[in-house]
Structure 1
Amino acid sequence: MAKRHPALARLDVLVGRWSVQPEVEGLGVGWTEFAWVEDGRFLRQFSDAEPVPETAPRAWRENNPMPTTQLIGLDDAGEEFTVLYADARGVHRVYRMTFGDGHWRMWRAAPGFHQRFTGTLREDGTAIDARWERSEDGADWALDFRLAYRR
């Protein structure tokens, strides 16, 4: 195998299992696990949670994405990552991603449904505080939800 690209090493801090708590009324703690696959060429993220309880908002109950799988790969031309996403609803998305200096960003521009994710990694590597935002036009953004990753 060819020598590992140094940009991939920035993702090593994600490897392992995290608890994930979305700040959405009625939703409990889920989990996500990051692991290297294909001899370290890609980082796989698999997430799941307990079934959405009846006390959760209707939109979450009807659109529960769990489980989800993401496959993260590198474009070495600009050291930007690409994320392939799929979930239990049959949704498939492609995100662009950067990760470095404690900042994690993902985004996509799709007609009528733009999304962006920002996360801040705690210096000791034990927590990530994050948020998802959405926009219909890519100009006016609204908070979708916050979430916290913890080891």
Structure 2
Amino acid sequence: MNAKHPALARLDVLIGRWIVQPKVEGVGTAWTEFSWQDNGLFLRQESDADPMPSTAPQDWRANAPFPNTSIIGLDDTGDEFTMLYTDARGVHRVYRMAFADDVWTTWRNAPGFNQRFTGTLSPDGDTVDGRWESSADGTTWDLDFELTYSRDRN
């Protein structure tokens, strides 16, 4: 195989296991792990969490973390990625993604349920501070939640 495409190589910083902490009172940690698939042609992301504690807000328990998998690939005509997402609820979604200048963005424009994520990688590469937002009309955005990814060094 040839060398990894330069746009894909920018994602090397995500490789490994991360602890994910939503900034929601009563909600515990989750984990996500990034690994190269098919000799670096695709990036695979797997995530899961422990069940929500009974002290978590009701809307978070109803939408408790669940196993999910994403496959991220590149259209080499640009620097933008496509992310195919699926989870244990049977949800299947297609997102667009970019990673440049230590800013990770993911977005989905879908009728009635637009989503976007923006995360900033720390200078040491061990933390991503991010936020998920949603919009019914694609114009007015509401914060869903903030979260922090911390590299798991264990």
TM bracket, shorter-chain basis: over 0.9
Distance in 2, Cα, partners of 1:30 & 1:63: 13
Instruction: Please give the residue correspondences for 1:2-151 in structure 2 after superposition, counting only pairs within 5 Å.
Output: 2-151=2-151
Secondary structure of 1:17's match?
Answer: strand
- TM-superposed CA distance for 1:63, in Å, is 2.2
Percent identity, aligned pairs only?
A: 66
Give the count of matched residue pairs: 151
Secondary structure of 1:7's match?
Answer: helix
Distance in 2, Cα, partners of 1:69 & 1:55: 27
**Structure 1 regions of 5+ residues with no counterpart?**
none
**Structure 2 regions of 5+ residues with no counterpart?**
none
RMSD of equivalent CA atoms: 1.0
Q: Is the 8 A contact 2:50 2:65 kept in 1?
A: no
- TM-superposed CA distance for 1:65, in Å, is 4.0
Q: Is the 8 A contact 2:17 2:33 kept in 1?
A: yes
| CA deviation string 1:100-146 (max 9, x = no partner) | 11000010111111000000000110100000000000000010000
TM superposition score normalised by structure 1? 0.96
Q: Is the 8 A contact 1:31 1:47 kept in 2?
A: yes
| CA deviation string 1:59-98 (max 9, x = no partner) | 2222224111111101111121001111121111100010
Q: Is the 8 A contact 2:52 2:65 kept in 1?
A: no
Task: Tell me the amino acid that sits aligned with residue 53 of structure 1.
Answer: P
Distance in 2, Cα, partners of 1:141 & 1:133: 6
- TM-superposed CA distance for 1:33, in Å, is 0.5
Distance in 2, Cα, partners of 1:88 & 1:79: 30
Secondary structure of 2:54's match?
Answer: coil
Distance in 2, Cα, partners of 1:71 & 1:65: 18
Q: Is the 8 A contact 1:33 1:46 kept in 2?
A: yes
Task: Tell me the amino acid that sits aligned with residue 91 of structure 2.
Answer: V
Q: Is the 8 A contact 1:64 1:89 kept in 2?
A: no
